[in-house]
Amino acid sequence: MKVEKRLKRAKTQKLRLLVQLFFAGASIFTGWKFVLFVRSLEGGKTLVSRPPGVEAFLPLSGLVGLKYWVVAGIINTIHPAAIFLLLTFLLMGLLLKRGFCSWVCPFGFLSEYLWKIGEKIFGRNLNLSRGLDYPLRSIKYLVLGLFLWDILFRMNVDALASFIYGSYNRAADIKMLLFFERISSFSFWVIISFIVLSIPIKNFWCRYLCPYGALVGFLGLFSPMKIKRNPATCIDCNLCTEACPSSIKVHIAKTVHSDECNACFRCVDACPVPDTLDMKLGRKRVSPFTYALLLLALFFLITGLARITGYWHSSITQREYKYIIKHIDDPEFSHRAGSR
């Protein structure tokens, strides 16, 4: 039985790793192609097309664009992929819990392997006390709340349109690239500190600071899929809780409702008793393979619809991108570019 359980665990986590590698590889390829696109324009050429997938890293543009779509009925074509990618990830949270963080997000993937390195180095990871853990976990919700308050409640239709069609949003992807290429000493050491803290502390960035994770986690509370435990067959071994990277007390919960549940299936894999702990949709068991299939189907369905309907590629021309790249350091850029 133990051998079978280990094989099942290895199979499940290997499946998740394959999905993680797919999205991580897609992110790296997209970033590399975007760099080539910018470099080619800087050289006065147009040898490389701009990859729309880079807009996955423009969540604010996506959120503003999504609200504008809802209130004005218009899907803007400045960064349309940002809208549909954000919508995809939000639906993942609503339908599949916080699986976006542990199956899709490249930062979640990196964070997971950082704490695994820490576990190998130190033999265990650092567990913060509840008095420290809960206040720190609230930070990501405070940051999320500030963004949501400003965008969802303070910005009217005119303000939304002004942002979407303004120079800042048009140049957002270029500015993002330049942030990393010209990173300040302060920003560099902040990022390094997050990396270092992620080694002894599991998912430090995701657990305490990521507003994206907070939003997906909140939506996950309403997901019809839940980890469920059968108390009648549970032997109280606590292995599920020990396996949970989010420190959820799985062994005492009949149904796991936590916003920190990443749907990683580690607790399910750790349970030694068949049919005692499973991911379920209502009363029906959802296997890791089915979960992965649903996640990928949702991703390709929505992004595919965006491509088919013509809301995937940005309407910003290469001529305009050349102008943006040439004048992005100009103090007057924000006043001129918005009218072009």
Q: What is the DSSP string of 248-269?
A: --GGG-SB---TT-----HHHH
Res. 108: pLDDT tops 90: yes
Q: Quick: pLDDT tens for 225-265.
A: 999 999 999 999 999 999 999 999 999 999 999 999 999 99
Percentages of the chain per state (helix, strand, coil), in multiples of 5: 65, 5, 30
Q: What is the largest CA-CA distance in the chain?
A: 70
Nearest of 208, 302, 198, 216 to residue 262 by alpha carbon: 216
The closest alpha carbon to 18, from 89, 97, 103, belongs to 103
Cα distances from 335 to residues 161, 328, 332, 338, in angstroms, run 16, 11, 5, 6
Give tens-digit pLDDT for 115-158: 999 999 999 999 898 899 999 999 999 999 999 999 999 999 99
For residue 26, pLDDT beyond 90:
yes
Rounded CA gap, 27 and 214, in Å? Answer: 21
Overall average pLDDT of the 105-117 stretch = 95
What pLDDT is recorded for position 333? 65
- DSSP secondary structure letters along 164-212: HHSHHHHTHHHHHHHHHHT--HHHHHHHHHHHHHTTTSTTHHHHHT-HH
pTM of the model: 0.92
Domain count of the fold of the chain:
1
Q: What's the pLDDT at 332?
A: 60
Q: Is 247 left (phi over 0), alpha (psi -120 to 50) or beta?
A: left
- Write out the two tokens for 220: 């996950």
- Identify the domain containing residue 62 by its residue range: 2-339
Give the percent of the chain with pLDDT over 70.
94
Could you tell me the CA-to-CA distances from 59 to 65, 84, 250, 291 in Å, in that order? 10, 10, 32, 25
Between 125-139, 208-222, 320-334, the lowest mean confidence (pLDDT) is in 320-334
Annotate 104-138 with DSSP letters as a single string: I-HHHHHHHHHHHHHHHHHSSPPPPPHHHHHHHHH
